[in-house]
Structure 1
């Protein structure tokens, strides 16, 4: 089974994103000239900053003492100071973890960094303040950079589906079994990071290293809080109960957005790349699904994702088309007849051999393999 590294090799070996990397670089290189240091607390590294060359370096949101900041500015380094009173770090070097976004859940979901970031977004998105929009853009770009580093070399399969799918249903269990099968096959599962089908697929990947009973028991535990309404707190607490009972779950990625902030991220994705801009998030999720996408039954959002994915496959703008597997014949040919249109688009093009429609969720991994995922 493929394990995704907690922090994959950098595209750029001049980026420093943890205190450990900072210490190792100073010790091995003896210089910070030209390095980019992202969101590392350097308050206790004054001596190193005062005695190390930092010419041409860039420090993004790194707390440090004023004498150190003055010295490195004199060296010719650029210093972007931390932004006070923000519920998120725009310069962050790594994607989020569930524990980070849901910190303080015991005090109610409203107290969590996730909810506070959404509240900030609600306050600032309508006022046209260029400063707030700049902070959102820097944050989202930092998250994209961190996500690329995380997924370097991984074979990623996207699982798309509706947020309305309830825990305790057959459909939810099927999506969880799909996520587990994909993870056990060696794929990195990536979802939109929210509730419903997305959570189920991340849960399945989380369950991959455990025995078969674990998933059945976890599904039973989760069923007591079937949806995120009326209480996100209870919904999230049930997930953390599962995580506490079966720690060391398998890795997967969730890519949610504060644009739909009333929908919380699910705690089963080990790595969460959360964005303010929904368009950046949607395109990024599909672009990174380099081994194909499985589309479970959904509504408008999932239909949109099918054609967002079909377009670059049609024009081959990202290179060779990637596999697309639609699950549930009746849903995609009668209820929302997306499949006939997709088939018509694909006819005579190289993507034609890369699309499939299956009846049952259990058939999806085999279809993906058949299409070259």
Structure 2
């Protein structure tokens, strides 16, 4: 007999809720598979991208919102696709910059209990049920990552991406941590990790902390120029970076 924890009456169902019977586990696995396939099909032709992470809570007058708009424009200017989580705040700002610069603007949205709406500046979008499937797609098509000030979700995306790069699970793509005032305590903690030996001194080189959009984009451009070339494949809309 299977040991299954049963949900109490009146409790709202959540997506990851412990072990279930075999049929429910199979249904869950199939749902995850379909989410991945939907994402792969929708994003296959977006070309090489740069993902911008950041808070959904900043309004249009916030200084970081304005910087994210500038990042979107600069990303479009060098021929890359701007990828965000598709929501408001920093995500909207980066998409807006790309949209206004007539670049490709992608939003990878998430269904939440307090419904996160898709911002109006994306020309390609896909919505996920699970954070972990969404995060795979936010990383999969990107050659660099810009981390703007944010909350728990941004920290999660930053550290997961950094872990993938540190462990060489993905290429050693550049990570830009933007906002020295906002992130100085976090960077102190990371340096303390190196001092205590839980990471190496070389791991500190995986992140560029800056307050300059130009420095961030030059850092990304140098990595791309040193490691890749832009090539066109079959359809005019499909561009790839090759080593």
Say if 2:146 is the partner of 1:297. no
Q: Which SS does the other structure have where 2:99 is aligned?
A: helix
Matched, 1:347 2:201: yes
Q: Match of 2:83?
A: 190
Residue 140 (1) aligns with residue 30 (2): no
Paired residue for 1:26? Answer: none
Secondary structure in structure 1 of the residue aligned to 2:44: helix
In 2, Cα distance between equivalents of 1:280 and 1:330: 32
Alignment equivalent of 1:258, drawn from 111, 118, 137: 111
Distance 1:190 1:126 in 2: 26
8 Å contact from structure 2 (residues 50, 146) kept in 1: yes
Q: What TM-score comes out, normalization by structure 1 length?
A: 0.49
User: How far is the alpha carbon of 1:132 from its aligned partner?
Assistant: 6.8
Task: Please point out which of 158, 183, 187 is paired with 1:306.
Answer: 158
For residue 44 of structure 2, what is the aligned residue in structure 1?
A: 149
Choose the corresponding residue for 1:270, options 102, 110, 123: 123
Instruction: Decide whether aligned partners of structure 1 residues 160 and 124 sit closer, same or farther in structure 2, where only a CA change above 3 A counts.
Output: closer
**Equivalents in 2 of 1:359, 1:185: separation in Å?**
20
Where do 1:1-373 residues align within 5 Å?
130=24, 133=28, 136-151=31-46, 154-209=47-102, 250-259=103-112, 262-289=115-142, 291-318=143-170, 320-334=171-185, 337-338=186-187, 340-341=189-190, 344=194, 345=199, 347-348=201-202, 352-372=204-224
Conserved in 2, the CA contact under 8 Å of 1:339 and 1:357?
Answer: no
**Offset at 1:281?**
0.6
5+ residue gaps in structure 2?
1-11, 226-243
Q: Are 1:124 and 1:132, in contact at CA under 8 Å, matched by a contact in 2?
A: no
For 2:59 and 2:144, locate their aligned partners in 1 and report how far apart those are by CA, in whole Å. 25
- Structure 2 vs 1, CA of residues 125 and 296 (structure 1 numbering), >3 Å: closer, same or farther? closer
Taking structure 1 as reference, are residues 371 and 125 closer, same or farther at Cα in structure 2, changes over 3 Å only? closer
Deviations 1:66-104 (A, max 9, x none): xxxxxxxxxxxxxxxxxxxxxxxxxxxxxxxxxxxxxxx
Judging changes above 3 Å, is the alpha-carbon distance between structure 1 residues 177 and 314 closer, same or farther for their aligned structure 2 residues? Answer: same
Partners of 2:222 and 2:65 in 1: CA distance: 25
Q: Which runs of 4+ in 1 moved over 3 A?
A: 122-136, 342-346, 360-363, 370-373
How much has 1:295 moved relative to structure 2? 0.5
Structure 1 segments unaligned to the other structure (5+ residues): 1-121, 210-249
Q: Distance in 2 between matches of 1:301 and 1:287?
A: 18
CA contact (8 A) 1:256 1:275 kept: yes
Contact 1:194 1:266 in 2 (8 A): yes
Displacement of 1:180: 0.8
Tell me by how many angstroms 1:259 deviates: 3.8
User: Deviation digits for residues 299-349 of structure 1, max 9, x if unmatched?
Assistant: 21111111101111111122x311000111111113xx1465178335235
- Please state which structure has a larger fraction of its residues in strand: 2
Deviations 1:165-199, CA, capped at 9 Å, x for gaps = 11233321221111011111111111111110001
Name which structure has the greater RCO, CA cutoff 8 Å, separation 6+: 2
> In the superposition, relative to structure 1, how do residues 170 and 124 fare at CA in structure 2: closer, same or farther (>3 Å)?
closer
Shift of 1:288: 2.4
